[in-house]
């Protein structure tokens, strides 16, 4: 007897979607494929282990719908997914629905997952866009990221220095998190008070993550739309966290979100027609004086101001690092660029190729994008902010590139 028929072995079969099983099997196949390639030496990068089972209480639930009724309703307030039906959206979906209605976008999949105590619907689509250019295509800037009071220091093309502090007060947030954690520990597990305390703690964590995400998107969008070339440093955030002795320092590294700036700039620079340059990880941007080239090898992490051993001038650590990054065009490791695959090292990323696969504007560019929306489980509502994703295409690299001094930067605009 077929599953789902009256008296069959699985009467609940018609109440669920086949994608609930197909998405899990697809992820398992991808994990086994990566493990097999890593074991045989066919996969570059860090070694991948055998897929491990994740318990329900340790892994957030998620399901990806790739077939069936997936659409954005014309009222721009509802998202339809298979089996579940309509989910109301707090945020207006006109940005994507307008493109779908004009034939300039096609929905590829919709993923439902749990984040911060809420359901999130992520819509992945392929979109046709017109070629765009930054407002200053021949200019470049350097970004120095930190975990202290100065979260970001930007060296603009006109030699001005911009300093940004992180908008989220991490000390106050951490103090509130500790207070709510004590409340949760004092409640009886399974009681209503325990559920309320956990909800309050999840709301605080969600607010901190939203503030961090908003700050990263505001920064990266502004720089990608203005400059043709943005230079950032290649940071090993995991190693930075492990290298911190105190637990509070390790927590500061992860909470600052400096590891999310680079991948966000990777797809935004390409979407607007610019490029992203990743400086060498071992570049002494903080130890090398931008003015005269003097080098101080014994520079410590707490030295915010240091004296140049060559010219004797007083050097601002963060501003000096941002200026060195802006003028850096050094030789890169081509093998590492192939391993990363998500950014362009030592050169400007290539433009997205033209396509004619979609109906509508055939003279545009196609890039994959995604919208993430939060779904309230109790009321089946959707809310949240848009999030775009573009997979860049690696371009050609110039192995003859090298560091350009400040004097050469002022008299030359050819990079």
- CB neighbourhood size of 100 (10 A): 17
Judge contact between 154 and 142, C-beta under 8 A: yes
Q: pLDDT tens-digit profile of 15-52?
A: 788 888 888 899 899 999 999 999 999 988 778 899 88
pTM of the model: 0.70
Within its chain, how far is the Cα of 217 from the centroid? 9
Sign (positive or negative) of CA dihedral 24, 26, 29, 35: negative
Judge contact between 388 and 271, C-beta under 8 A: yes
189, 172, 60, 212: CA torsion to nearest 10? 170
Q: Which of 221, 205, 334 is nearest to 278 (CA)?
A: 334
List the alpha helices (DSSP H) in 257-380: 261-271, 317-326, 334-340
CA distance 103 to 126: 11
Q: Which of 235, 347, 219, 226 is nearest to 286 (CA)?
A: 235
The maximal CA–CA distance of the chain, rounded, in angstroms, is 88
CA distance 403 to 295: 15
CA distance 80 to 92: 14
Number of residues that make up the chain: 415
List the alpha helices (DSSP H) in 227-316: 237-243, 247-255, 261-271
- CB neighbourhood size of 192 (10 A): 9
DSSP state for residue 379 in the 8-state scheme: T
pLDDT in tens, the chain (415 residues): 454 454 466 777 777 888 888 888 998 999 999 999 999 999 887 788 998 887 777 777 888 999 888 999 999 999 999 888 898 887 889 989 999 999 999 999 999 888 777 788 899 999 888 888 999 999 999 999 988 788 899 999 998 999 998 776 666 777 788 889 899 999 999 899 999 999 898 888 888 888 888 889 999 999 999 999 999 988 888 777 777 767 767 777 777 888 889 999 999 998 888 999 998 888 888 888 988 888 888 888 788 888 888 888 888 888 999 999 998 877 544 444 444 443 333 333 333 333 333 333 334 445 556 656 666 544 443 333 334 334 334 333 333 333 344 444 433 333 2
CA distance 140 to 154: 11
Q: pLDDT tens-digit profile of 228-284?
A: 999 998 888 877 777 776 776 777 777 788 888 999 999 999 888 899 999 888 888
CA distance 61 to 255: 24
386, 195, 198, 381: CA torsion to nearest 10? 0
CA distance 143 to 123: 31
């Amino acid at each position: 007897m077929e599953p789902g028929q009256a008296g069959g072995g699985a009467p609940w079969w018609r109440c669920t979607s086949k994608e609930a099983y197909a998405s899990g099997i697809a992820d398992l196949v991808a994990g086994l494929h990566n493990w097999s390639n890593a074991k045989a030496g066919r996969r570059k990068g860090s070694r991948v282990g055998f897929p491990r089972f994740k318990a329900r209480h340790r892994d957030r639930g998620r399901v990806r719908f790739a077939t069936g009724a997936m659409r954005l309703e014309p009222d721009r307030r509802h998202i339809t997914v298979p089996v579940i039906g309509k989910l109301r959206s707090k945020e207006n979906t006109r940005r994507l629905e307008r493109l779908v209605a004009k034939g300039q976008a096609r929905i590829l999949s919709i993923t439902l997952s749990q984040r911060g105590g809420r359901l999130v619907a992520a819509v992945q689509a392929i979109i046709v866009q017109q070629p765009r250019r930054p407002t200053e295509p021949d200019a470049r800037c350097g970004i120095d990221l930190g975990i202290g009071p100065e979260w970001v220091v930007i060296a603009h093309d006109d030699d001005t220095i911009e300093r940004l502090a992180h908008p989220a007060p991490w000390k106050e947030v951490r103090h509130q998190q500790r207070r709510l954690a004590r409340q949760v520990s004092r409640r009886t597990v399974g009681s209503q008070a325990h559920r309320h305390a956990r909800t309050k703690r999840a709301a605080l964590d969600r607010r901190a993550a939203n503030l961090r995400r908003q700050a990263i998107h505001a920064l990266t969008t502004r720089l990608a739309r203005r400059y043709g070339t943005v230079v950032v440093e290649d940071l090993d955030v995991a190693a930075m966290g492990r290298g911190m002795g105190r637990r509070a320092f390790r927590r500061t590294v992860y909470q600052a979100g400096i590891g999310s700036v680079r991948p966000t700039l990777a797809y935004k620079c390409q979407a607007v027609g610019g490029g992203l340059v990743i400086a060498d990880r071992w570049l002494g941007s903080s130890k090398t004086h931008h003015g005269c080239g003097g080098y101080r090898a014994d520079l410590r992490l707490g030295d915010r101001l240091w004296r140049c051993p060559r010219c004797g001038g007083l050097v601002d650590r963060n501003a000096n690092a941002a200026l060195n990054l802006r003028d850096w065009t050094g030789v890169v490791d081509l093998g590492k660029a192939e391993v990363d695959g998500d950014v362009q090292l030592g050169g400007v990323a290539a433009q997205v190729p033209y396509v004619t696969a979609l109906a509508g504007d055939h003279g545009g560019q196609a890039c994959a994008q995604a919208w993430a929306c939060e779904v309230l489980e109790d009321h089946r509502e959707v809310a949240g902010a848009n999030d775009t994703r573009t997979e860049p295409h690696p371009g050609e690299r110039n192995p003859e590139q090298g560091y350009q001094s400040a004097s050469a930067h002022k008299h030359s605009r050819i990079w």
